[in-house]
Copies of this chain bind each other. A is one copy, B any other.
Amino acid sequence: QNDRPGRIILPMDTRYRCWETFMVVMVAYSAWVYPFEIAFMNATPKGGLFIADSIIDAFFATDIILTFFLAYIDSRTQILVRDRRKIAVRYLSTWFIMDLASTIPFAGLGYLITGRVKAGVSYSLLGMFRLWRLRKVKQFFTRLEKDIRFSYFWIRCARLLFVTFFLVHCAGCLYYLLADRYPHQGKTWIGSVMPNFREDDLGMRYIASIYWSISTMTTVGYGDLHAVNTREMIFNIFYMLCNLGLTAYLIGNMTNLVVEGTRRTMEFRNSIQVASNFVCRNHLPPRLREQILAYMCLRFKAETLNQQHLMDQLPKSICKNICQHLFLPTVKEVYLFKGVSRETLLFLVTNMKAEYLPPREDVIMQNEAPEDVYIIVSGEVEIVYSENETDQVVGGLRTGDIFGEISALSNRPQSFTFRTRTLSQLLRLKQNTLQEVLQTKQADGIVIMKNFLKHQ
């Protein structure tokens, strides 16, 4: 195999991620400065701006070279491809030409060839290739949106804000350009309120443009600055149409985020409402009422506790591994299963259901028929003996203890109520499963019964 990993950049490498983020900042600057130069500087930046532009172009050239060393994931086999030749072929056949076109300094090239500095329309148009770089910003936001370390709400807002800013800025610059090039200075949107605006301060002119742009975009439309000649009207028609779409898009996105953001609260309300109605309608006793509401609250306060839904989605082989990892250490230490073969333990573990219970829930009620056996993974459980309506705590159980097994193995009603003291995670094992093990795996069955009898 001829892939030399030393010369290859991995896409998830932290240093490359930093470089990517830095490039996005460059793109943002470059997207801001380009329309500004066209409109307010006659497309010929001077001094600092010119140097900055050249440096950025150099960075983009570097990025193109780096891409030839960037490993990628093959979509068919889902394997990381590190072969430099495949990487190069893939890049050359996709975005290479556009990346190159957006980086070539056409004006400089033109000067080298023709020997003259010229700021014609053709260079301005060729400069529009630079907007291709915005693709990087899009990719950056798309990646962040899928990264669960960041809030989806704020990433999405930032994305929309960037789009809005960029549109407002472009529209402001273009609108100024229209006024600047119009032959009759007084018959322009800015000239009608600031005669001789061309002599005014650059900042003032820029702010007036942006002010108009944003007051049109947000549909405030004070009317203090408005289109005067036909050319401006045409521009305005397209800008307003475009804004209509953008505003709808912004609202659509916000609605989506709000819906997502309040979904859980709504579900919580509906769920509690149903439970509360149920309790009221049936005049359930306060003790039961508390238990039901506490459980419903727990479900939402700690939704992540509900792991069943996740397990259902995973393939069987992974689920088995998880169960084995999570519950085997606890189950192995339970007195009943000491000395039992690993195979039987694995069978038991994969047939258990994990349940979370809030404090003060009755897990098993006194005098109930035997049905399930519970093992405590975390939390505490009280043993309560009820007589004549008074409850008396006769003991406590902790992690690694088992309860309900006496009743299940001797097939008699439960002698105690078992009640959680704190938030507890319990493993529930059906009596049937236990009995199946006792019958099918005879060696282990004898061990279990010996353990049981010894413990009494």
Contacts and interface: CB of A to CB of B under 8 A. Distances in A.
Contact of A164 (B241, B325, B413): B241
A334 interface: no
Interface stretch (A36-44, A47-55, A254-262, A392-400): A254-262
Contacts of A318: 288, 291-292, 295, 361-362
State the oligomeric state as a number of copies: 4
Given A164-B244, A265-B146, A291-B321, A281 B304 contact: yes
A215 B211 contact: no
A254 B256 contact: no
Interface in A102-155: 145-146, 148, 152
B230 A204 contact: yes
A125 to B, nearest CB: 25
A78 to B, nearest CB: 4
B211 A237 contact: yes
Contact of A77 (B241, B316, B422): B422
B254 A262 contact: no
Interface in A305-322: 307, 309-310, 313-318, 320-322
Contacts of A215: 221, 236, 240
A255 B215 CA distance: 23
Interface string A390-429: 0000000000000000000000010000000011000010
A265 B145 contact: yes
Interface string A363-397: 11101110010000001000000000000000000
Contact of A223 (B211, B221, B247): B221
Q: Which of A216, A237, A361 has the most CB of B within 10 A?
A: A237
Interface in A193-218: 203-204, 207-208, 210-211, 214-218
Given A221-B221, A250-B244, A359-B78, A314 B295 contact: yes
A248 B245 contact: no
Contacts of A369: 343, 346-347
A260 to B, nearest CB: 6
A226 B215 CA distance: 11
A368 B278 CA distance: 34
Contacts of A309: 274
A455 B363 CA distance: 39
B278 A307 contact: yes
A103 to B, nearest CB: 30
A277 interface: yes
Given A219-B218, A361-B317, A422 B285 contact: no
A310 B295 CA distance: 12
A205 to B, nearest CB: 10
Q: Which of A223, A342, A347, A362 has the most CB of B within 10 A?
A: A223
A268 B146 contact: yes
Contacts of A361: 315, 317-318
A357 to B, nearest CB: 6
A252 interface: yes
Interface string A286-301: 0010011001101101
A219 to B, nearest CB: 5
A276 interface: yes
A282 interface: yes
A-B pairs with lowest CB-CB distance, top 4: A220-B221, A252-B258, A248-B254, A252-B255
Interface of A: 76-79, 145-146, 148, 152, 157, 164, 203-204, 207-208, 210-211, 214-224, 226-227, 230, 233-234, 236-237, 240-241, 243-245, 247-260, 262, 265-266, 268-269, 271-278, 281-282, 284-285, 288, 291-292, 295-296, 298-299, 301, 304, 307, 309-310, 313-318, 320-322, 325-326, 342-343, 346-347, 355, 357-359, 361-365, 367-369, 372, 379, 413, 422-423, 428
Given A251-B251, A251-B252, A316-B428, 10 more contacts: A78-B301, A146-B265, A152-B265, A207-B233, A207-B237, A218-B240, A251-B255, A278-B307, A281-B304, A320-B365
21 contacts: A79-B359, A79-B422, A152-B265, A216-B220, A219-B219, A220-B220, A220-B221, A222-B227, A223-B224, A252-B256, A253-B262, A260-B266, A274-B304, A274-B309, A281-B304, A285-B325, A292-B314, A292-B318, A295-B318, A315-B357, A316-B372
